Amino acid sequence: MAKTRPMTITEKILAAHAGKKQVSPGELIDCRVDLALGNDITAPLAIQAFEEMGAKKVFHRDRVVLVPDHFVPAKDILSAEQCKVLRQFAKRQRLTNFFEVGKAGIEHALLPDQGLVLPGDLVIGADSHTCTYGAVGAFSTGVGSTDLGAVMATGRLWFKVPESLKLVYYGKLNPWVSGKDFILFTIGDIGVDGALYQAMEFSGEAIKALPMSSRFTIANMAIEAGGKNGIFEPDRATLEYVKPRAKRPYKLYESDPDARYAAVREYDASRIQPQVALPHIPSNVKDVREVGKIEIDQVVIGSCTNGRLDDLRVAARILKGKKIAPSLRLIVIPATQEIYRQAMKEGLLEIFLSAGAVVSPPTCGPCLGGYMGVLAEGERSLATTNRNFRGRMGHAGSEVYLSSPAVAAASAVKGRICHPEEVVRSR
């Protein structure tokens, strides 16, 4: 009997969903999709495509998820119309998982917390940050609206099997360093197309030491290196997160020890300091101590990258008993309704409000220059979001810097980008 070729976790999940024993990089395969996601920006086009294709019914009413999160609560009439398209489609198709304002939040924080994405799943979403779910050991990638429309109709989609890039992190973490610093450092190293078309497999002892929140942050920004997906082998932390949430069976995959990689890159975590991505590209990364004196007008803590409870906790630890710089606005956005509620119970919101922050309901709003913190010409924002392209948060003449919640909170106090140590002595 022919011996099967050793495979990576990504190849194994794709093979399983293509009904094949094995797959190889470059191969075009047709896969069964476990879950398909759309939001208020991408789903209207997907629904239009679905209807134009002649489809009448979604492939599975539990497996098509619609989350209005980008411009909600509706910021204007046009946004309200887009949300209405989702709402009516969800009703017509009797979708189980339509998340209305008040029950929802930012899709990529919401879906894992709801137990909708599980290890071994194949998930697609019409949102580039769908790669977030690789943190639980799923294959998960972003597609456009027409692909989403086709999946809603058929439950299937074609893929090209990606090569895998193995990223190994070892050593001890420095104080105030979190997943955001790992991923910014990595993007700074390999560039915004350093993993183009590839699966980014995050591994090593330093990764195993990271909480799920940090892993979500890392997987979330795989797209910022051009990656098709970011993925982590499930471990104890994964299972602790997934078990109480899962409502259906799931499967744990891991890479074979002799699996083939396009490249293997190793990073010494002890050399990673808090990172900042300077305008106008996420790979323009420096150690926070090396950015110089950058005064800022606005700080945003939130988004699908860093709006989770751990992110708010670290920000609150820094902001407790302090005031933000008088020249600056701080916007804090808990990513979901549940995170919001928990932050309230823990007293985090009180800390933010006392520091002079505004706390927004869950929304993607400012990250993409939608609303709730759009920048004027010449303004500068430090944000825990994922992209700092020109004009991303507003006027083409504004600037966006990216960092972790710890750096963002400390910088809000100082009024300029700084290391958390400048504000809080010990951890």
Partner 1 sequence: MKLEGRVWKFGSDVDTDAIIPARYLNQSDPKELAKHVMEDERPAFKKEVRKGDILLADKNFGCGSSREHAPLALKAVGVSCVIAKSFARIFYRNGFNQGLLLLESQEAAETIKEGDRVRVDLAKREILDLTQKKKFSASPIPGFMLELIKDGGLISHIRKKGLKKR
Give the contact letters, 43-72, x = binds to partner 1 (CB under 8 A), - = no: -xx--xx--xxxx---x----------xx-
Contact 199, 229 (CB under 8 A): yes
Site for partner 1 in 158-217 (CB under 8 A): 158, 192-193, 196-197
Contact 326, 358 (CB under 8 A): no
Among 8, 42, 214, 306, binds partner 1 (CB under 8 A): 42
From 173-181, 320-328, 362-370, 412-420, span contacting partner 1 (CB under 8 A): 362-370
The CA distances from residue 230 to 25, 114, 252, in Å, are 16, 20, 16
Give the contact letters, 80-99, x = binds to partner 1 (CB under 8 A), - = no: -xx-----------------
- Residue 142 has phi, psi (to 5 degrees) of -85, 145
Give the contact letters, 274-313, x = binds to partner 1 (CB under 8 A), - = no: -------x--------------------------------
When the beta carbons of 106 and 349 are compared against partner 1, the nearer one is 106
Among 115, 226, 279, 415, binds partner 1 (CB under 8 A): 226
When the beta carbons of 262 and 374 are compared against partner 1, the nearer one is 374
User: DSSP for 289-326?
Assistant: GGS---B-SEEEE-HHHH-SHHHHHHHHHHHTT----T
Question: 3-state DSSP call for residue 341?
Answer: helix
**Total number of residues binding partner 1 (CB under 8 A)?**
57
**What whole-number distance in Å separates Cα of residue 61 and Cα of residue 94?**
6
- Residue 232 has phi, psi (to 5 degrees) of -125, 140
Among 4, 61, 78, 268, binds partner 1 (CB under 8 A): 78
Burial class (CB in 10 A: 0-12, 13-18, 19+), 3: exposed
From 144-152, 313-321, 329-337, 407-415, span contacting partner 1 (CB under 8 A): 144-152
73 touches partner 1 (CB under 8 A): no
Cis peptide, bond prior to residue 282, ω within 30 of zero: no
28-32 and 156-160 as β-strands: parallel, antiparallel, unpaired? antiparallel
Taking phi over 0 as left and psi of -120 to 50 as alpha, with beta for the rest, 227 belongs to: beta
**What whole-number distance in Å separates Cα of residue 107 and Cα of residue 238?**
19
**What whole-number distance in Å separates Cα of residue 248 and Cα of residue 144?**
27
Q: Looking up tokens 């779910």, which residue turns up?
A: 133
399-402 and 380-383 as β-strands: parallel, antiparallel, unpaired? parallel
Q: Shortest distance, CB of residue 46 to partner 1, whole angstroms?
A: 9
Among 136, 143, 277, 304, binds partner 1 (CB under 8 A): 143
From 137-145, 237-245, 331-339, 404-412, span contacting partner 1 (CB under 8 A): 137-145
Q: Shortest distance, CB of residue 78 to partner 1, whole angstroms?
A: 4
Q: Shortest distance, CB of residue 324 to partner 1, whole angstroms?
A: 26
Q: Shortest distance, CB of residue 57 to partner 1, whole angstroms?
A: 9
Give me the torsion for CA of 393, 394, 395, 396, rounded to 10°: 40
Give the contact letters, 11-40, x = binds to partner 1 (CB under 8 A), - = no: -----------------x-x----------
Binding residues for partner 1 (CB under 8 A): 28, 30, 41-42, 44-45, 48-49, 52-55, 59, 70-71, 75-76, 78-79, 81-82, 125-128, 130, 142-147, 149-150, 153-156, 158, 192-193, 196-197, 223, 226, 228, 281, 368-370, 374, 387, 389-392, 396
